[in-house]
Structure 1
Amino acid sequence: MLHRCFMVIGALLSLAVSPLVASESCQATGYPGIPGIPGLPGRDGRDGEQGQKGDPGQLLHGAAGPEKGAKGDPGLPGFPGKRGQSGEPGGAGGPGIRGVAGEPGEHGTAAVQQQAAFSVARGTNDYPDRRSVIRFTKIITNINNDYNSATGHFRCRVPGTYYFVYHASVDDRLCVQLKMDNTVLAPFCDHRRGKRQVTSGGLSVYLSRDQEVWMETTEYRGMRGTANGYSIFSGFLVHAH
């Protein structure tokens, strides 16, 4: 296609040149010709030689930034994390503080129950005081020291039914009272005089833990306590509850 264009252009030029040549032969001076058609682009030239190494650039430091800002407010608490794995068991702790004593336990079996019994004698030949606790100071039997010879009282340690009995050697009128926690359980009296004899009395009673039983005189107190005639006070557990 380009070749055809050049052929057309060449034909046109030849037609235009012919009159010019004819006229040039006729005139002394001619007109400037028409500019030629631009040629085809030339090929790229060869690469030039490598230039010299340039000077190193300058290292520029920027201005210092602003100072450290103030501490911000705490953020909102995050969601609870997942439960981690259980750790190894810890060592045994030290002993704790001793606790308060508990209530008395239930009664055990008959094979392991503690028994309660006492027998005590009047250890003097003197009459006891009027309207006072009779103290029996000579111990014959006293399991677990339930009878207190200093006070003349028996204190219940094992709740249950007890039997109490006294045997008194007398040579004068005698009236005694068997008492429990200041309540008279039974009075016993012997008003015979002038002849030494023995009088006695007894009864059974239920006692709760820490209740106390003892004997007291009234106005008549003719109770002896010699080697030839003891006055004895006894008690024992019949059935524990």
Structure 2
Amino acid sequence: MSDGRVAFSASLGKQSPTDTGPFTTETTLIFEHVITNIGNAYNQSTGIFTAPVRGVYHFEFHIFGTAGIRAGGSLFRNGDLICTAYEHPKSGSVSASNGVSLLLEVGDQVSVRLPIGSSIHENQNHHTTFSGHLIFTM
């Protein structure tokens, strides 16, 4: 049981320039570089946040892409698509982000997935991130 303090932020954690994707199947992104994980509700081995208490949570994610490859990410709750951030740069690099507040029950799971055919880029600047926090319990 959580004492009501739940917040996390994590990046993909790559130190040298690395592309993830594209893949032929939708893939859960694992944000290995944990910046904050108060309440330990984010699992850096699976990339999945699990709600420890019933309440309203806010999540946001930021993705970074490079020229010529679709860059995207989608936020899922319990396997259901909630929102997407997407760009298709013709040249240079791009970033896209999205955020949402969700009512979660204990045990609900939230993650960011890389859509089929999309790619994201990461380096020591930690451009690609996933964050969330409990706003209030219900």
TM-score w.r.t. structure 1 length? 0.51
Larger % of strand: which?
A: 2
User: What is the number of equivalent residue pairs in this alignment?
Assistant: 131
2:117 alignment partner in structure 1: 220
Aligned-residue CA RMSD in angstroms?
A: 1.8
- Deviations 1:16-48 (CA, angstroms, capped at 9, x unpaired): xxxxxxxxxxxxxxxxxxxxxxxxxxxxxxxxx
Q: Is the CA contact 1:128–1:134 (under 8 Å) kept in the aligned structure 2?
A: no
**1:194 Cα offset (Å):** 2.0
- Deviations 1:124-157 (CA, angstroms, capped at 9, x unpaired): 2231462110110001000122110111100000
**1:180 Cα offset (Å):** 0.7
- In 2, Cα distance between equivalents of 1:185 and 1:221: 18
**1:221 Cα offset (Å):** 2.5
Higher-RCO chain (CA-CA 8 Å, sequence separation at least 6): 2
Over 3 Å counting, the alpha-carbon distance change for 1:229 and 1:146 in structure 2 is closer
**1:187 Cα offset (Å):** 2.2
Identify the match of residue 137 of structure 1 among 32, 39, 50.
32
Which amino acid in 1 is paired with 2:92? Answer: K
Q: Is the CA contact 1:174–1:221 (under 8 Å) kept in the aligned structure 2?
A: yes
Q: 5+ residue gaps in structure 1?
A: 1-103, 105-111
Aligned 1:102-181 pairs, distance under 5 A? 113-124=3-14, 125-128=18-21, 130=23, 131-171=26-66, 172-181=69-78
Which amino acid in 1 is paired with 2:10? Answer: V
Answer with 190-199 or 206-215: which moved more: 190-199
2:99 alignment partner in structure 1: 202
TM-score w.r.t. structure 2 length? 0.86
**1:227 Cα offset (Å):** 1.2
Q: What fraction of aligned residue pairs are identical, expressed as a percent?
A: 26
Q: Is the CA contact 1:121–1:137 (under 8 Å) kept in the aligned structure 2?
A: yes
Larger % of helix: which?
A: 1
- In 2, Cα distance between equivalents of 1:152 and 1:129: 18
Answer with 140-149 or 220-229: which moved more: 220-229
Larger gyration radius, structure 1 or structure 2: 1
Q: 5+ residue gaps in structure 2?
A: none
Over 3 Å counting, the alpha-carbon distance change for 1:159 and 1:212 in structure 2 is same
The runs of at least 4 consecutive aligned structure 1 residues that moved more than 4 Å come to none
Q: Is the CA contact 2:10–2:32 (under 8 Å) kept in the aligned structure 1?
A: yes
